[in-house]
Every structure is written in C-alpha cells, then in structure tokens.
Structure 1
Amino acid sequence: MTESDLPPPDTKRWVMRRKAEVVAGVRSGLISLEEACRRYTLSVEEFLSWQRLIDSHGMRGLRATRLQDYRPGQPVRDRVGAD
C-alpha cells in the first residue's frame, strides 16, 4: 500500500472502499491515526467505529445504508418478510 492508494484529502463521499483504504493505511503504518483524522476531518471515534465494523463484519459493515444493523445497542431495522 502506498499513499496514492489513500483517498484524496478533500473526500466528501465516504463509500465502503474509501473507509477501508483509510483503515488499511493506518493499520499498515502508512499514515498515523492522528494524521488520518486530521487529513480527512474525522473524529477518533468515527475512525475507530470503521475499524470495529471491519473487524466484526468485514467491509460490508461499512455500508452507510446498513450501519444500524451493525452498530451495537442499535435496534435492527424492520425487514420486509422478517419474522
């Protein structure tokens, strides 16, 4: 992984892939947690939530439309056809 693999600093739309790239960059030592938060205007809590979601649910856990299904303490959405 190189710096060119990281999203641009002015990223506004955080899709799963971009979130995962930032987490991978921090984990590999390419960029520090502090620098990632500063560069992308993230809180430490937001970054750590991305990391936890990846650890618990893989990249699919980062989907913004499914966050309520993966966050602890949040009720699971009603699903069509769910019992």
Structure 2
Amino acid sequence: MREKLINERLSRDWTQKEVAEKLNISEVYVRKIEKGVRNPGRSTMLKFEILYSTSERELFPDLFQVIDDTKCINN
C-alpha cells in the first residue's frame, strides 16, 4: 500500500472516485495504484504530484527504491 498517497487523499476528504475524476483516469486504476497492484506511468505520476502538491518520490517511494544487489552470477 502506498500510505502517503492514500493519506493525501484522505486528508482532503476525497473519495477514490473524486480523485479519478480530477485526474481523468478510472476509479479502478486509482484503487490499484493506491494498493500498489499497478504502477502509474510517468504522466499519471505527474498528475498525482500536481494534485497533491507532493513529490512523486514521496507518493511512490516503492518505485524509487535503490536496490544494491552485490551478488554476482558465476558461470
């Protein structure tokens, strides 16, 4: 779950349907994005960033994680 994204919506007393209408996307898509089942495209991330006046890195921290994989594949 993307808690910051959900908290931003709830702090404004908006439903997922209202957010969907404001962003011109489907309510189902908003629900899936909030649950982390779907990842938004770049333009959709920017819409959320503008709507909530919050950086996309804060709204979608899971998409900006840096994973340092130190294991090597040996042949």
Please say whether Structure 1 and Structure 2 have the same fold, judged by a TM-score greater than 0.5: no
Tell me: higher relative CO, structure 1 or 2? Use CA pairs within 8 A at least 6 residues apart: 2
**TM-score normalised over the length of structure 2:** 0.37
